[in-house]
Structure 1
Amino acid sequence: MRHLPTFSPAPERRRRWVLLAVAAQVVFILLVAVAGYAVSHYGQRITLRTTAVDTGALTRGDYLSLNYDVSQLPRRLWRGDAEPRRRRPVYVQLQPLPTGEYAAVAIYPAEPAALPASHVVLRGWVANAWRQGLQLRYGLERYYVPENAGRLLARRARREPLRVQISIAPWGQARITGVEPLPAAR
């Protein structure tokens, strides 16, 4: 009985494929890191008011769950012809307040074309819609706390609202750049 030779790639060819696969993974990780830094560098910085929803996660050393003032908005701000639907993208127009924070003035189903110079757009999606309002998500609802800072922030977050600094890139991506308690009223 005669055996047919089986094809097996040469060791050099196999090594090239493995190196190519590893290089592709390294490039992908570097691009993700660079994208994060690009958002911080090129993005417009805004401040949103929020409250901590789950400070218990901080005692485990993980993250702070945030609930922004612009996460639950009245239905009257909706500017679309069709009804808002769950899991659909939305674009929230924000205007600056005298306090330095931003507040929502309109919600669009598509990115608005023209805005006043001081206004910004924050991209999100509809988490829930009811007759009186909309619950929105932005992908900014978790803040991963630096080590050894969690317990102090958790204690303060239980009794005070927080200010969250966000950077919004021209291409629409947003990321949290800082969290701090609101200054005490005098």
Structure 2
Amino acid sequence: MKRIWFYVIVFLQAVFLMLMSMSYYTMDTWGESIRLKTAPVDPRDPFYGDYVTLTYEVEQVPEGKWNGSADTGSGEKVYLLLEPGENDLYTLVQASAEKPDASGEEVVLPARYEWHDPQRGIYMVDIGLDRYFIEEGTGQQYEQNREDMIVEVVLAPWGQKKIDSVTTSE
């Protein structure tokens, strides 16, 4: 009997790992692609190589677009409602602690609340897509074009997200 339970547990672990890896690749089929404006920074990691640190305009939420409570704690989940704007770049409609209903071409992007800056009148959130690994030695190219960078993000219906590409704007 113990032997059967051992094989069942091993089988379930293998199925779990396969489903995890499949979910990442099926995002390209069933996920929705959005474009966000960003400003990269070019650091280097001795273990992983060159990567670009990305910050997004939608991560700075003006007080007028904040629908969360005043006592939202750091690290709590918030939702960004985005809509396509000029050049198909998605812009922020509102941020909320409750998941809003998206209509038309709007999308909901999950994020984590970081902090509030009352002097600048903004709430800072993190969408969790701040590192993009690049080919060795190409960091200078990204650094030179930092004002015109566009990130294409794929959002899966089950809530997962990934960076598909980082390019310069047209």
The alignment partner of 2:7 has SS state of helix
Q: CA RMSD in A?
A: 2.3
Partner of 2:126 in structure 1?
137
Superposed displacement of residue 179, structure 1: 1.6
The yes-or-no answer on 1:68 pairing with 2:56 is yes
Closer/same/farther in 2, CA of residues 28 and 144 from structure 1, 3 Å limit:
farther
Matched letter for residue 16 of structure 2: F
Instruction: Confirm or deny: 8 A CA contact 1:167 1:174 kept in the other structure.
Output: yes
TM-score by length of 1: 0.77
C-alpha deviation, 1:123, in angstroms: 0.6
**By how many angstroms is 1:39 displaced?**
2.2
Structure in which a larger fraction of residues adopt strand: 2
Alignment correspondent of 1:174: 161
Identity of aligned residues (%): 28
Which whole-Å CA distance do the structure 1 matches of 2:112 and 2:57 have between them? 15
One-letter amino acid of the counterpart of residue 36, structure 1: Y
Could you say which residue in structure 2 is the equivalent of 1:91? 79
Aligned residues: 166
**Stretch deviating more after TM superposition (102-111 or 35-44):** 35-44
Q: Mapping of 1:29-68 within 5 angstroms?
A: 29-57=17-45, 61=49, 63-68=51-56
Tell me the SS of whatever aligns to 1:29. helix
Q: Which runs of 5+ in 2 are unaligned?
A: none
Q: Which has the larger radius of gyration?
A: 1
TM-score (norm 2): 0.84
